A = this chain, B = another copy of it.
Amino acid sequence: MVDFLMNIELHQNSTYQQQIREKLVELIEQDAFGDKALPSGRKMAQLLKVSRNTVVLVYESLVDEGFLIARKRSGFFVHPDLLMVQRLPNSVQKNHLAETPNLNQPNWSKRLQKHPSQLSTLNKDENWSKYPYPFIYGHIDVSEFPLYQWRECSRIAESKGKLHEWVEGYIDMDDPQLVSQIRQQILSKRGISADPDEILITLGTQNSLFLLTSLLADKSVTFGVENPGYANLRHVISLCDSPMKALEVDHQGLKVGEQLNDCDYVCVTPSHQYPSTVTMSIERRKALLEQASKDDFIVIEDDYESEVNFIEKPLPALKSYDQDGRVIYTGSLSKSLTPGIRIGYMVADRSLITELRTLRTLHYRHPPSNNQRITALFISQGYYDSHVRRMRRTYEKKWLQMQQGIEQYLLNCEIHSTPGSFCFWIGLPKTITSHKLREVAAQQGILIESGDTLFMQQDAPKNYIRLGFSAINIDKILQGLAILGGLIAQLERKALNDKTA
């Protein structure tokens, strides 16, 4: 029996108690001890090279939780109730290497009504944090997370008196405190005034867009989308078989006028056009809303990146100019706080919110109630605001470093970035493809994103990249850009040589 335990290799990632406890629970579940005594505290301590006290504390807590019983003078035993539990055999013997295929297996590919995995997506690298120079977008620098403040709010939400407020779940509702804090402290800063029943909490902007298209899209309904633009927006629209129209964007943002005529919905990113970062001018915003009323279309505003915008006087949201209730507004805490907790919000006409809420109930009920409550506390105590202020200062410094490095090292490139955005949108010299650069850069520890999948058309330019800087450490920025610049120059020379050869 001692042999089993010899397998615990204690590491430094969690406490010894926690590791020993986890291993013992696993062994008890596997019925490894039977009705025999566990090794004495002293013996186990010797085996594992930990203090006897550590082992005794684990044993005692396992007694408290009903896994063990202590018998006087004979030590600790697995609780008899656990020994009586029927061990279910795995009725099915898995045989992945079966020589003869099982002809009774269903044909899944025939049964799938949709093939989401065939939708092309950005080639995000799961191992991005292992690269020294992760110029990627949509991730956050963990060291900036306001850990102590979050933990304090989590502690408050998990206090005995507060528990009932979230443990029961909300059925189809949201935490009224979170709705109230988002109204007062987040929407108001974007110039938006909304009643509680005009707001729905979602699992982030992706989820807001999905709920919206589920309700509004259909093959007879045309969605206008910015091109280049957010690929996963196009994917949710295509799941609903709605026709899409690629909309042109210029230095003022989405172009209004004729191209919007035949759209039922126009999806737009006015704060910073995704991915070119252009901020839509006020004139454009007003013209867009006028045309929406005239041509009877709805505008879906994705106000991403607005929170951490370090511009002194950012433009208010498009929604704040909306007199006719034609703008559906989406925002989230994914970029300003963390994408892990999955908190977003939507503002729209109350009749639409009512339907979206019922739909959300059928999808997944509500965003987890504990996270809603912790976030509400986090905002109410001023932590969100002070975090956003800190982030703004950090991002401003980073953006300036990026700008300096790009101008210095990325020669012959077309450069787009608006102050306050989280990325630079770069047109490489036309002889270089983004895929090639991405490949050689990765070998040097530099992770960049190819812009190909952000364009809608098949024959889109292949020479765009996006350089994000939210995840990279500020001290690495210049160094990384210098190397990247060298690689671009190298590829350019090679292309020239190939041509002349």
Contacts and interface: CB of A to CB of B under 8 A. Distances in A.
Q: Determine how many copies of this chain the complex contains.
A: 2
Contacts of A210: 362-364
Contacts of A359: 114, 116, 239
A33 interface: no
A206 B365 contact: yes
A203 interface: yes
B338 A169 contact: yes
A84 interface: yes
A169 B128 CA distance: 12
Nearest to A371: B368
Contacts of A320: 88, 90-92
A235 B367 CA distance: 20
A259 interface: no
A371 to B, nearest CB: 6
A342 B364 contact: yes
Contacts of A255: none
Interface residues of A, number: 134
A8 interface: no
Given A29-B385, A359-B114, A105 B65 contact: no
A117 B67 CA distance: 47
A457 interface: no
B66 A239 contact: no
Contacts of A342: 169, 364-368
A102 B323 contact: yes
Interface string A107-125: 0110111111101000010
Nearest to A65: B386
A26 interface: yes
A113 B382 contact: no
A150 interface: yes
Nearest to A153: B18
Contacts of A88: 188-191, 316, 320
A363 B213 CA distance: 11
Given A215-B114, A386-B67, A324 B84 contact: no
Contact of A154 (B140, B154, B236): B154
Interface in A307-340: 312-314, 316, 320-326, 334, 338-340
A147 interface: yes
A368 B341 contact: yes
Looking at A24, A25, A29, A321, the one whose CB has the most chain B CB atoms below 10 A away is A25
Q: Please list the 5 inter-chain residue pairs (A to B) with the smallest Cβ-Cβ separation, ordered nearest first.
A: A169-B339, A65-B386, A25-B382, A88-B191, A203-B364
17 contacts: A65-B382, A88-B188, A90-B191, A91-B321, A104-B324, A104-B326, A106-B326, A126-B173, A145-B167, A147-B158, A167-B340, A169-B334, A235-B362, A340-B368, A342-B368, A367-B368, A368-B368
Given A65-B385, A116-B362, A206-B363, 12 more contacts: A24-B382, A26-B184, A90-B188, A91-B320, A106-B324, A114-B355, A126-B171, A126-B173, A145-B167, A151-B155, A170-B340, A207-B365
Interface of A: 13-14, 18, 21-22, 24-26, 28-29, 62, 65-67, 81, 84, 86, 88-92, 94, 102, 104-106, 108-109, 111-117, 119, 124, 126, 129, 139-140, 142, 145, 147, 150-151, 154-156, 158, 160-164, 166-171, 173, 184-185, 188-193, 202-204, 206-207, 210, 214-218, 221, 232, 235-236, 239, 264, 293, 296, 298, 312-314, 316, 320-326, 334, 338-342, 349, 351-352, 354-355, 358-359, 361-371, 380-383, 385-386, 389-390
